[in-house]
Each structure stands twice: as C-alpha cells, then as structure tokens.
Amino acid sequence: MNRVWTRRRTTWPWVLPALLLVGPFLAWPLGAMVWRAVTPDGAFALQPLGDVLGDRYYWERLAFTAGQAAASTAIALAVGIPAAYVFARLRFPLQGLLLALLTVPFVLPTLVVAIAFQRLAGPDGWLNELLEAAGLEPVRPLGTIWILLAAHVFYNVAVVIRLVSVVWRNLDPRTEEAARLLGAGPWSAFRAVTLPALTPAILSAAALVFTFTFTSFGVVLVLGAGNPDLDTLEVVVYRLATRLVELPAAALVSVIQVAASVAALTLYSVFQRGATRSLGLRGDHATRLRRAGGGQVLFALPVLILLIAFIVTPMAALVHGALTVGATDTVTLENFTTLFDDTGRQSFIPPLDAMRWSLTFAAGSAAIATVVGLASARVIAYSRGAVGAVADALLMLPLTVPAVVLGFGYLVTFNREPYDLRGSLWLVFAAHALVAYPFVLRSALSTLRALDPRVPEAARMLGASAWTVWWRVEFPILRRPLLAGALFAFAVSLGEFGATVLLQRQEFATLPIAIFDALGRPGEANLGHALALSTILMAVTAAAFLLIERLRYRDATGF
C-alpha cells in the first residue's frame, strides 16, 4: 500500500516536461489542424472526413505504404537474424567496431542515404559499371520498388541485429546444448529452444522497423524519382500540404498514418516488455562469448562480408562522388574547397554557418530531449499495467507524426499575435526535440526496467528522500544510457529535414537544407557541393554515433 502511494507521489511531477513539450508543440498544432479540417464552415461536419475515407486513392496508398513496410521488415529480418547470431554467439576481432559500423546507416540523414543510393544505382553508378564489366544488361532501379526496399534494409538492418543479438547473447546456451545432447539436430534445437526465447525480441524489432519504413519520406521522395506508384502516405501528405495547400485533407490523411503507426508501436511496446523480461534468464557464466569454431566461421564469414559490402558500398559511393568532379575518376578536393566560395552565387548558404546552426540546433534539442526523455521514461517505468502501456504508446507518438505535418502545423498555428513564432528558432528547437526525445526515452527506459526495483526501495526504507534515491541510486546507473540517448537525439536533430525545410529561414539554414538547396540547382558544381556537404554531415553523424557506442551498456536492450 505504502509502496504504491510513494510511487504516485513521486511520479507525477515527471510528467511535466513531456506535457510542456508535447502539449503546445504537438497536441495543439495537430489538434487545431484536425479541428479545422472537420469544421470547414465553423460548424462540425463529417463530410471532409467522409471525403477522405471514401476516396479509394488514400486506401490504395495506405495499402502500398503498409505493403512496402512489411516487405522491408521481412527482408531486414532475413538479413539481420543470421547476423545477430554471428554477433551474439561468436567472438572475433574488431567486433564492437563492426557492429558500430553496421549501425551508422541508422543515424544517417535520410537525404544523405537517398543521395548515396542515387549515386550507387544511377545510370553511371557503380552498380551498372559492375554489371557492364560482367557483361550483363544495365539496370535502372531508380523509381522502382527495389531501390526503396534496398534503402530501407540498409537503414534498418542494424535495428534487427542489435535488438536480437542482445537477447540472444544473454540466453543460456546450455539449454540449446542440452537439446543437442538429447538428440536434436542444430536446426530443430534452434527452432524448439532458441527461437521461442528470441521471439519477443524479433517481433519487437519487426514492429520498430515496420514503423520506421511505414513513415518513410526522404528516401521515397528522392529515390522514387517522381513515380506516383511509389508514394507513401507521408509523401501524399507532403504533396497535399505543400503543393496543393489542401490542409484539411493533409491533416486527415496524417491522422490515418498516425493511427496505423500507433498500432505498430503499441505492438512494439508490448513486445519490448517481453524482451526485457527475458534478460532475467541470463547468468554471467553464460554470457561469455566463444571463439568461433570451423563450422561457425564458414557461416559467419560470408554473412559478415556480404553485410559489410552492402552497408559500406553506398557510403563509399557518396564519398567517391564528393571526391571527384564530373565523370572523371581523379580524386580532388575541389568540391570541398569551392564550397566556401560565394562569388556569383546568389542565395548562397555559407557551409560554415550551416554547420554551426546544425550543431546549435542539435545540441539544444538534444538537451531538451534528454530532460523530456528521461522524465517520460520514469513515468512509464513506474506506472504499472495499462497506464504504463498507454503512456508508452502516447509518448512515442512523435515518432509516428509526419515531420512535414509537424512543420506545417506550426506554420498555420503559430501565425498570429501574440504567438506569431514563424521565423523563430524556437520552432526548430521544439520540432527537433519532439522527434528526438523518443530515442532518449527508449534508451533510458530499457535500463530503468532492468533495474531491480528492490534497490531504490531499500534506499527508501533506509530513510533516503525521493530526491536522494534519484541522485544516488538511479542517476549513476542511468548516466551512460542517458548520454547515449542524448547523442542519438543529437544525430536525429542533425539529420532532421521534413519539418526544418518548412520552418527554416535562410539566416539559420542547417546542413540538410544546404544539401537540398544545392541538389535542387542544375550543374555539376552544385551536385558536387551537395555530395561534399552530405559527406561532411555523414562524418559528423557517424562520429557522434561512434561515441554512443562507447557509452552504451552492453546488456541494455533498446536501439
């Protein structure tokens, strides 16, 4: 009785940071947009909703969006699970670094990934050079579903590897060994013993990959090459909002998208609870990695080599493009040195300013995201039962809201005195913090859940105040996951594009904006600048990410 009471008392103030961010900067603008959509002439009407729901086109797009997300998820699982095995059960040199390398794509800005694949698979890209060398017909994957799937797998395979391998590593291998001793073959032992234990982690990874690919935007916009059959719901929303300026329809289609992603995320949340519980199975003796044996090497080597080739080639194609000019193969720094030269270039975004602004927004919004993410994680971790599950789903909402809609909602909501915030930096900070804090939340939550609740309780019993318990018991354990989450938020903000492109003013344009700007101008020089800026952005993000790697608790799940 007492326990419940103290929890309640200490939990509620932690709701505040999330409320202060989500209330004015998510609920209000989105609510206002939806409200305006269903009250076309000042009075409530179901007709606009009926128009959208009755339009077959939107349902077809929903079906396509879900279909491509399901296909991307299936492929990511097929590629990721064998790799998860290799990382969980074997020990080999540079293992940590390799895992970090494979995860770099996940934090890369969508725009950069799209450009990398465009370079790789374009008419004169490496892919076609390879095919030509092999005497095969050239392919034109741009504007087809294949390039989308490839980019989605590139992005998300690390999510599968990480979530699954962490649990796999902590499963007691003796159970499977026992099954083998009792006469089961390796495959049936895996199926009967290991797979059931891994199922929550696999499903959780699947739900997460599904959500990310379901809301795919930048990749589709660039690699879809204008093929309307590849439009995801988010692209449809973008078109409705920025081109046709049909806000009601845009708002209502966003609602459909959010509803669908919330369903997927709720599943994720449920499965993640399962995955975290299975951590309890582990014993220290069992988590030790083994040196690979002969058969395992035969399995592991091809898996690793193919995976690394798949992950590294697009990034290499991007860097190669940045280091060459035109169709030549001569390595030069020209694209980088001419970046700073603004003679005769009107509406020039100085790259150093763009970099400074990118870092400023990233640092500021990472700080906000850390506070909000931590506080929210505590709320979820310490509310039991349905309240926790609902709070979890609600607090993950920002991941599912189309960034374009967020930016748009701000512009049409904060547009009158005394709160005309258009052109203000604060909207960018708010948007970035919103899309970034769920990552801090996940990082902190998995550690909070793994924390034995008896430890803080014991501290309380011994007379420590709630504050002391937090400072002396919880914070020291949370410090590293929090830093990891903060850096994740930092990387997310660095790459944020959908909302920023609407909210930015040229005075504070960020790197992704400068890239998009250069990409939209004709000529070799502008393309070279876009590639050079993308390379810089990739390097900064990757550096932030490699730092995260050093901070992560090895036994924490989450991504």
Partner 1 sequence: MRTIRFLFILVCWGAAGLVAVACGDDDADAPTLVVITHGSFDMSSELIEQFEREHDVSVDIRKGGDANEVVNRALLNAGNPEGDVLYGVDNLTLARTAGAGLFEAYDSARRDAIPSEIWAEVGDSQEVTPIDYGYVALNFDREAGTPPERLEDLVTPAWRGTLVVEDPATSSPGLQFLATTVAHFGETGAYTWRDYWRELRANDVLVVDGWDVAYNTHFSRNGGERPLVVSYTTSPAAEVFFSEGELDEPPTANVVPGGLKLFRQVEAAGVLRGAREPELARSFIDFLLTDEVQRQIPETMFVYPVIPGTETPDWWRWAEVDVEPAPLYVDATTVNRWVREWTDIMRR
Interface residue list for partner 1 (CB under 8 A) = 57, 226, 228, 231, 239, 242-246, 344, 346-347, 356-357, 359-360, 362-364, 366-367, 408, 411-412, 415, 420, 422-423, 425, 480, 483, 486, 490, 502, 505-506, 508, 520-523, 547, 550-551
Residues in contact with 445: Cβ distance below 8 Å, sequence separation at least 6, in sequence order: 377, 380, 381, 392, 558
For partner 1, give the closer residue by CB, 168 or 429: 429
Contact 61, 233 (CB under 8 A): yes
Least CB distance to partner 1 at residue 526 (A): 11
CA 3 to chain centre: 36
For partner 1, give the closer residue by CB, 200 or 495: 495
CA 7 to chain centre: 32
Least CB distance to partner 1 at residue 176 (A): 37
Burial of 164 (0-12, 13-18, 19+ CB in 10 A): buried
Residues in contact with 270: Cβ distance below 8 Å, sequence separation at least 6, in sequence order: 389
Least CB distance to partner 1 at residue 333 (A): 26
For partner 1, give the closer residue by CB, 336 or 508: 508
Least CB distance to partner 1 at residue 543 (A): 11
Least CB distance to partner 1 at residue 50 (A): 17
For partner 1, give the closer residue by CB, 226 or 302: 226
Least CB distance to partner 1 at residue 366 (A): 7
Residue 306 is given by DSSP the state H
Least CB distance to partner 1 at residue 532 (A): 20
The verdict on whether omega for the bond into residue 228 sits within 30 degrees of 0, i.e. cis, is: no
- Rounded CA-CA distance 224/241 in Å is 19
Least CB distance to partner 1 at residue 547 (A): 7
For partner 1, give the closer residue by CB, 163 or 515: 515
- Rounded CA-CA distance 466/497 in Å is 40
CA distances from residue 299 to 170, 251, 262, 292, 303 in whole angstroms, order as listed: 21, 49, 38, 10, 7
For partner 1, give the closer residue by CB, 80 or 409: 409
For partner 1, give the closer residue by CB, 85 or 490: 490
Interstrand relation of 90-91 and 290-291 (parallel, antiparallel or unpaired): parallel
Q: What is the DSSP string of 181-193?
A: HTT--HHHHIIII
For partner 1, give the closer residue by CB, 208 or 486: 486
The first and second tokens of residue 215, run together, are: 């809301």
CA distances from residue 466 to 71, 383, 457, 458, 469 in whole angstroms, order as listed: 48, 16, 10, 12, 5
